[in-house]
Amino acid sequence: MSRKKKFTKKIELKKAETKEVLQPKPKSAKETPQLVRGMKDILPAEQPYFEFIRNTLENFAKDYNYEKIDPPILEDTALFVRGTGKYTDIVEKEMFSFLDQGGDNLSLRPEFTPSIARAYINHGMLNLPQPIKLYSTGPVFRHERPQAGRLRQFHQFNYDILGDSHSVLDAEMILMANKIFEKLGLAVSMQINSIGCSSCRDSYKVKLTDYYRSMRSKLCENCKSRLARNALRLLDCKEESCLALRSGAPQILDHLDEDCKNHFTRTLEYLDETNVAYNLNPYLVRGLDYYNRTVFEVWPEEGTSGAQDALAAGGRYDKLVEILGGRPTPAIGFAAGIERVISRLRSLNIVPPAKERGEIFLAQLGESARRKSLILFNDLINQGFGVSASFSKDSIKAQLEVANRLGVKITLIFGQKELLEGTIIVRDMDAGVQEIVDQKKLVGFLKRKLGKEQALT
Ligand code: HAM
């Protein structure tokens, strides 16, 4: 069957599957629907990790003058077929694609890069001063076999520079990737390679195919079929039998043309000016079709089995904008996988920095005080104080327990008596002493007590 027919067949199958989904098998009304395989809830306990990583990465983006872009999660399937590459694992096996009610073939994004290139073209960014530096973050979907470090919904943080081919940018990206992990407290190993341009790659692929063909019988089944389509992919196979053959394989660095060689040499020279240690990895080829010249991955320093553990990865993609119908626009970028970074932090017992201590807890006693305390709560927030409360609790003891658990500096106690007298009890939680304050003077009193006179005027 031709590839085109195969693809149409796949879509027809999807159509049938969609119909099936619309008529779910009857289940007991009492049965709780389960999480979809490969997806996970990010519970409150894990949120500080996400916050820590996103904040750190966003600060870097701002320091390095990147601007934020939020492409949609749902895109035309053709964007990834053309952009990511028709014969990549992502497009062949891993996309969540479906036909919508209007018959459009859509996909949940399996990566950001084609969307970034599409947005660059759609919004005429070519006419702005180049290069354009963009960062983006959000969920990504790949229908992979779920295992440690491989989710079907995960989150990426991407940095991309479009509109400049200078090799100093390759070095800047690699340097930034390295510094990010230093800031997060993770020791990493920078893996770098050049895969040249399509013409260097074509002649290299012939040599590589010849080499592997001579030992075809020793290859794993997957690689036997990859051999006919893209011999480069054999270099990142993790099967013992294929790894053993890899060391004798020809290396791409020996097959770069003059321009690609110069670009890579200059990138390494710029990097050598920094203190970033890197490992030249001739087997690093990346699984996405658009890459050319410099490619890199960030691996955790120890206990890594390679690509599967990459914390971040990227490279140059000088042809992608053109492939998607734009004017020739060189580009480079990388993405960090947030869940992988979290699991590495956790395995090393690195915890995100503690949140700032809460300032005020507002406790109330009695129905009328509860009603008034809602307004007081809102007023204090408007004045810029960090306030929490447990309005549904009646007992003062239970409320003070919450205040203690939150570790606030001050608890305000507002009861029937205070309501009638226009006062409020201010309890200093560290000193364990309390005083009665006139409600009209409360804001000024709290500002003085919390040392916020300047900040909150
Ligand atoms: P990628 O290597 O496919 O590159 O993914 C980047 C990072 O996303 C990986 O290094 C890993 O940390 C994380 N990741 C990938 N797949 C999974 C998964 N199934 N579960 C958890 N984490 C995962 C790209 O996506 C390129 N678009 C990066 C890029 C940006 N190139 C240029 N600009």
Tens digits of per-residue pLDDT, 129-143?
Answer: 999 999 999 999 999
> What one-character-per-residue DSSP string does 371-421 give?
HHHHHHHHHHHHTT--EEE-TT---HHHHHHHHHHHT-SEEEEE-HHHHHH
By the 8 A CB rule, do 319 and 332 touch?
no
Whether the CB-CB separation of 113 and 119 falls below 8 Å is answered with no
> pLDDT tens digits for 142-201?
999 988 889 999 999 999 999 999 999 999 999 999 999 999 999 999 999 999 999 999
Distance (Å, rounded) from C-alpha 160 to C-alpha 187? 23
Binned average pLDDT, 10 residues per bin, the chain of 457 residues: 50 48 62 92 95 96 96 98 93 96 97 98 97 98 91 97 97 96 96 95 92 91 86 87 90 95 97 94 92 97 65 98 98 98 94 85 94 92 91 93 93 95 95 94 94 62
Q: What is the distance in A from the centroid of ligand 1 to the CA of 156?
A: 7
Q: Report whether 195 contacts 254 (CB < 8 A).
A: no
- Give the Cα separation of 217 and 21 in Å (integer): 42
Q: To test the ligand 1 pocket, which listed residue (317, 340, 341, 342) has its Cβ within 8 A of the most ligand atoms?
A: 340
Q: Dihedral of the CA atoms 270, 273, 274, 278 (nearest 10)? A: 70
Closest atom of ligand 1 to CA, residue 317: 32
Q: What is the pLDDT of residue 111?
A: 98
Asked whether 144 lines ligand 1 (CB < 6 A), one says yes
The DSSP line for 8-56 is HHHHHHHHHHHHHHHSPPP--TTSPPPPPTT-----GGGHHHHHHHHHH
DSSP annotation of 296 reads E
What is the distance in A from the centroid of ligand 1 to the CA of 155?
9
Task: Give the pair of three-digit tokens for residue 355.
Answer: 């949140």
Token digits for 368?
A: 């009328």
**207 Cβ neighbours under 8 A, 6+ residues apart:** 250, 255
- Judge if the beta carbon of residue 314 lies within 6 A of ligand 1: yes
The answer to whether the CB of 154 is under 6 A from ligand 1 is: yes
What's the confidence (pLDDT) of residue 307? 46
Q: What is the predicted pLDDT for the residue at 454?
A: 61
CB 42 within 8 A of CB 50: yes
pLDDT given at position 355: 76
Q: Quote the pLDDT of residue 309.
A: 83
CA separation for the pair 21, 417 (Å, rounded)? 61
Q: Is the beta carbon of 298 within 6 A of some atom in ligand 1?
A: no
pLDDT at 260: 97
| Cβ–ligand 1 contact at 334 (below 6 Å) | yes
pLDDT at residue 8, as a whole number:
47
Number of helical H runs and strand E runs in the chain: 16, 16
Taking the C-alpha atoms of residue 309 and residue 76, their distance in angstroms, rounded to an integer, is 29
Q: Is the pTM of this model over 0.75?
A: yes
- Distance (Å, whole) CA 373 – CA 367: 10
Helix axes 167-184, 47-63, angle to 10 degrees: 140
Which pLDDT score, from 0 to 100, does residue 11 have?
47
pLDDT, one tens digit per residue, over 273-318 is 998 999 999 999 998 999 999 999 999 997 555 445 899 999 999 9
Contact in structure between 75 and 109 (CB atoms under 8 Å): yes
Name residue 181's amino acid.
F
